[in-house]
Amino acid sequence: MTKGGDAAVVESVKAASDVYAPASGEVVAVNQSLDGAPGTINEDAEGKGWFFRLKLSAPDELNDLMSAEQYQEFLKTLD
């Protein structure tokens, strides 16, 4: 998987949305439980709602991600 590349698709009744890879690496696990319970993503996104696990090939790419605080500020701009 390559940073910024397609990683998954989330479908709802109204739309389908792409999920992009946050960093480059090899997928080492996929959360199969989401197939039967996609609502888990909304209910527990930082716990049981994970999509996949990566073995990073370029760990420095993580430095480009937002911190939790930066993300919360970004969300405020979407209103």
The parent domain of residue 41 ranges over: 6-76
Residue 51's nearest CA partner among 69, 66, 35 is: 35
pLDDT at 30: 95
The per-residue pLDDT for 24 is: 98
3 touches 21 (CB < 8 A): yes
Residue 1 lies in a domain: no
Per-residue pLDDT of the chain (79 residues; tens, 9 = 90+): 999 999 999 888 888 999 999 999 999 999 999 998 989 999 999 999 999 999 999 999 999 999 999 999 999 999 7
Q: Give the CATH number for residue 59.
A: 2.40.50.100
- The count of structural domains within the chain is 1
In this prediction, residue 3 carries a pLDDT of 97
At which residue do the structure tokens 């990683």 appear?
7
Is residue 72 included in any domain, yes or no? yes
